[in-house]
A and B are shown apart, each in its own frame.
Chain A
Amino acid sequence: QKEVEQNSGPLSVPEGAIASLNCTYSDRVSQSFFWYRQYSGKSPELIMSIYSNGDKEDGRFTAQLNKASQYVSLLIRDSQPSDSATYLCAVNNYGQNFVFGPGTRLSVLP
């Protein structure tokens, strides 16, 4: 069974701090990795995708991938209350299907 694991949280950080969200996956052949943000009662929206080892930055967001450790993370710099949401990690192997993690609930405190 291919698995994607995340801490469920809630992860609480003060406004302006860095939020660090982590994800591990079990299938070594995983190729593509995605972070989605989901506000309460809404559908997931894509924040970042990452395909190769290292860091990928987009504005306040940085995704980090380490395939040897089977680990992907999302850093949110200068966290804002509007970043409070559940963050879903998704992993894609060969083919079109994703395996989603259970999500980490982030709370940014003003």
Chain B
Amino acid sequence: DVKVTQSSRYLVKRTGEKVFLECVQDMDHENMFWYRQDPGLGLRLIYFSYDVKMKEKGDIPEGYSVSREKKERFSLILESASTNQTSMYLCASSSSKGENIQYFGAGTRLSVL
């Protein structure tokens, strides 16, 4: 079974803090993704990566950065957290071979106070 693990289920941070969200997958997938999900807005792509050290901006990259130093790990960084970044963050991974299905982690619910 594919396993995508996000480091925290719930996180509470203060405005201005630097926040790291970690995601690890165990299926040797090439592709990894970070989304945020807000009521009424659906899933929005923040950043994605096709390979180690590669990153591409998604639809809403402002205020975020990412790091992919190892194939299995994809980190989302909020350089200076703001209240409008309070959201559910979902990590996903997929293989470049075969069916290209995205598998999701359990999600991190981040509250910025």
Contact = CB atoms under 8 A, between A and B. Distances in A.
A42 B109 CA distance: 10
B75 to A, nearest CB: 18
B100 A43 contact: no
A102 B31 contact: no
Given A101-B42, A102-B42, A103-B42, A96 B100 contact: yes
Closest 5 CB pairs of A and B: A102-B42, A43-B104, A100-B43, A96-B31, A43-B107
B101 interface: yes
A96 B48 contact: yes
Q: Is chain A's interface secondary structure helix, strand, loop, or mixed overall?
A: strand
A46 interface: yes
Given A90-B102, A96-B48, 15 more contacts: A42-B106, A43-B90, A43-B104, A43-B105, A43-B106, A45-B104, A49-B99, A88-B42, A96-B94, A96-B96, A96-B100, A97-B33, A100-B43, A101-B42, A102-B40
Q: Is chain B's interface secondary structure helix, strand, loop, or mixed overall?
A: loop
B9 to A, nearest CB: 10
A80 interface: no
Contacts of A44: 43, 90, 104
Interface of A: 32, 34, 42-46, 49, 88, 90, 92, 96-98, 100-103
Contacts, number: 42
B102 A98 contact: yes
Interface in B88-113: 90, 94, 96, 99-107
Contacts of A42: 106-107
B45, B50, B101, B106, most chain A CB atoms within 10 A: B101
B41, B43, B94, B106, most chain A CB atoms within 10 A: B43
11 contacts: A34-B101, A43-B90, A43-B106, A46-B103, A49-B101, A96-B94, A97-B58, A100-B43, A102-B40, A102-B42, A103-B42
